[in-house]
Structure 1
Amino acid sequence: MRYYKQFRNWPYMHILALLFGCVCLGMALFWDDPSIRIGMFVCAIFIFISSWILWKNRWHYLEINQDWIIHQGFKQWKLRRRDLIRVEQGCKGWVDEYDPYLKVHASGEEYQVDSGFLINDKRVEELTRAMQGTG
């Protein structure tokens, strides 16, 4: 089964961010006040970087089949199911207590699943069961 990140439902969000970045860049080029020009230019750069991240995020997936667990996210890894020792789930730190994490332990290695795949607690449970082969 192939799982996608949470922004998969909005496939053209990066284009909207790119257009907004172009508007900010246009305002930076044609505005008279230097402080507003600098602010709009910084805003445009930030939005262009955000657009690139959203575009790159479209191609991320987590595939779990009979033989392999394939993680194509910001970190890419591939793991045989038979090498899987355990799947650890929990919440990060004290500040991010509601931000779930999922770690996969296999033959001396530890792999982290990107947080974009972990939309809610139900998805975390579903991924854990699928990786362990009990779901």
Structure 2
Amino acid sequence: MDGTFQILIADRNRHVREFLRRELVSEGYRVLLAKDDKELLGIIDGQVPDVLILDLEIPHGGGLAVLQWIRDRNLSLPVVIHTFLTEYASHPAVQGRASVVEKMANTGILKAAIQDILKKNYPCRFESAERLRDAEVEKES
């Protein structure tokens, strides 16, 4: 493992998916995309990513059903709920299982939430990835 983290973005809006992909790839993450819960569950069933960024309004069963599917399988998949609807923050399927970040043009809060999740859930890999990034920045200087 080279310390690179894999993030799955599940959002109904193609433009949002692509925008987030570009933002996160520029930060050094590997990114997978899903347009609906069927694609999302197919990806997770094959290989569990390090973090899931989930729009609760994804087509078909919706984000709450995805959270239940993850819970039913006891997957230790950290989730960032990325939505306009902040009332979901108090929903039982969300509490204790995910961070909630409201959608906005500035991705700084989302990136900070991802960093916090990675530090908490993968401390050794996170430190390794930071050392690799620092070494690459130093080479470029």
Query: TM-score, normalized by length of structure 1?
Result: 0.25
Q: Which has the higher strand share?
A: 1
Which structure would you say has the larger Rg?
1
